[in-house]
Amino acid sequence: MDNNEYRLTGHHAEALLAADALEVLECPAGNAFEQLRAFHDTAPGWLFGHLAYDLKNETERLHSAHPDGIGFPDMFFFRPRYLLHLRQQELTISGEGLTETAAKQILAECLREPANPPADVTWTPVPLQSPIDHAGYLYAVKALQEHIRKGDCYEVNFCREQFARMAIPDPLLLFRRLNALSPAPFAAWYKTGHKHLACSSPERFLKKQGNRLLSQPIKGTARRSADPAQDALLREALLQSAKEQSENVMIVDLVRNDLSRTAVQGSVKVDELFGIYAFPQVHHMISTVTATLDERFHFTDAIRHAFPMGSMTGAPKVRVMQLIEQYERSRRGLFSGAIGYITPEGDFDFNVVIRSILYNAEQEYVSFQTGSAITFYSDPQKEWEECLLKAKAMETALGIV
């Protein structure tokens, strides 16, 4: 996990690396959060892993029927043998049974890594496919707007998958290329078995430090410009956009409600509303919501009641997740889920898995998904163009231009 030197609230370290699983927890939706609580409580220690979007079927009475070409489990955590912390140019190496010789070998390997990823493509790109083409996307957006008109919901995060059957000999190189193209504060490289994730996420799902909870939903996007004056205008237009502000407020209210389910009464606060943050390809509107976790609740309760994150569902949450299942054509799986860590004390930090490439090496299947928030006032064509904008860095990393 790499914050790429973004100075955002609450980062535990500039980079964290966990490797070599001593013990793993892998389970489907059902009683996964109970198993996570027991897994941590039995032998408290560092845990790293993920929560897939389809855990929604545990938190609510929902189902997932679409195909999944990647196949990450609904929940997976591991206790690492080795843990590396990078803080302000200080690297700490720790681990079970770590010897001085092993530490020196790890350090040498860290120093050996080249500073910049190779520019050449080491695999043969193939055309991307999608179960939802341009016409199908426009039809689905208009259908969702009809649901909004009828009062079924207010906002829906609608996504489409793009995939290809191709072999990637070095998936780590894919992450290094994506991270160079689009460095982000919640970037991560994640591998379990033959499944890989290259993540350039700009968004935090939920963090706990002590009894303080922190969520930073993103809703609102504008393209960047190489011309500083034009870029400033685009930034200001995003800040002043009534449409983007209304989308952001709806999700902030949803997050406030989610956190209130495990928070001390009256402790939920919006620390920042409509903050505008610049990233390599886009400007984003980010708000910050905090709360105090009630001591009656376990840390897993805070995660369970807030998952999936409102920025990737919409409002009201249960109804829009039903509509997402109805109109999308691929199972989200790890996309729009979360990856992160849990400390021995029960603190945690999880991102939102967006701007990410997923790869199943066994099936030679590579996939990414992009989406946007659909409201009554959305222009379907502009929402399509937003999805294309978000896909640009991932296409380039794959060598598809």
Which residues are part of the catalytic machinery? 203, 219
| Interstrand relation of 348-351 and 338-342 (parallel, antiparallel or unpaired) | antiparallel
Give yes or no for a contact between 204 and 352, defined as CB atoms under 8 angstroms apart: yes
Sheet-wide strand order for 356-360? 186-192, 195-201, 356-360, 365-374, 155-165, 314-315
Report the alpha-carbon angle 105-110-111, nearest 5. Answer: 100
The whole-angstrom separation of Cα 314 and Cα 375 is 10
Per DSSP, 53 falls in state: G
Comparing CA positions, the residue from 339, 80, 78, 308 lying closest to residue 198 is: 339
Give yes or no for a contact between 372 and 383, defined as CB atoms under 8 angstroms apart: yes
| Cα maximum dimension of the chain | 67
Gyration radius of the chain's alpha carbons: 20
Comparing CA positions, the residue from 37, 67, 14, 100 lying closest to residue 360 is: 67
Euclidean distance between the first and the last CA atom of the chain, given in angstroms as a whole number:
27
The whole-angstrom separation of Cα 365 and Cα 342 is 30
The whole-angstrom separation of Cα 170 and Cα 177 is 11
> What distance lies between CA 246 and its chain's CA centroid?
22
Instruction: Enumerate residues 6+ apart whose C-beta is below 8 A from 194.
Output: 360, 361, 362
Buried b (16+ CB within 10 A) or exposed e, 2-35: bbeebeeeebbbbbbbbeeeeeebbbebeebbeb
